[in-house]
Amino acid sequence: MLAYGYKLLTSDIFSQEILGAVALTSDLKTTVQVKPVKVIAEGVESTDGQTLIDGKYGKLVKILENVNYTAYYDLFANRLNSVKQSAVLGSFEEQISQWSKSPK
């Protein structure tokens, strides 16, 4: 995963966190399996944080195997469009316009 580059890795992790939160709180017809997982933590930057299926030493955790992606994307898009969001998404031109104004 580190081969992606730091920014892509960070956005990939963020996307996974959002998927996990949405899957836990919504009816997306998820399928979960319990598997033995081990997280590498040996002080080596290139491998620390990697997650492996380890039948001998792994701890049992629930792993999201399947989700209704169409329902997920619809729900996610609707959440982004909600006026209750702490940040409002807009065009780049709108952002430049707001940044150009003096603070009130």
Domain membership of residue 86 (yes or no) is: no
Domain membership of residue 74 (yes or no) is: yes
Judged against a pLDDT cut of 90, whether residue 60 lies above it is answered with yes
Domain membership of residue 54 (yes or no) is: yes
Domain membership of residue 16 (yes or no) is: yes
**pLDDT tens digits, 66-82:** 888 888 888 877 777 77
Higher-pLDDT residue of 23, 8: 23
Domain membership of residue 19 (yes or no) is: yes
The pLDDT of residue 78 is: 78
| CB-CB neighbours of 28 under 10 Å | 19
How far apart (Å, rounded) are the C-alpha atoms in residues 90 and 88? 6
Tally of structural domains, the chain: 1
Domain membership of residue 28 (yes or no) is: yes
The pLDDT of residue 55 is: 93
Q: If you compute the radius of gyration of the chain from its CA atoms, what whole number of angstroms results?
A: 19
**pLDDT tens digits, 83-93:** 666 555 567 77
> pLDDT-derived band of residue 36, with 50, 70 and 90 as boundaries?
very high
Task: Tell me the pTM.
Answer: 0.46
Higher-pLDDT residue of 91, 51: 51
The pLDDT of residue 3 is: 47
Question: In terms of Cα–Cα distance, which of 26, 11, 31 is closest to 73?
Answer: 26
CB 54 within 8 A of CB 39: no
Residue 40: domain span:
2-81
Domain membership of residue 64 (yes or no) is: yes
The pLDDT of residue 58 is: 93
Domain membership of residue 24 (yes or no) is: yes
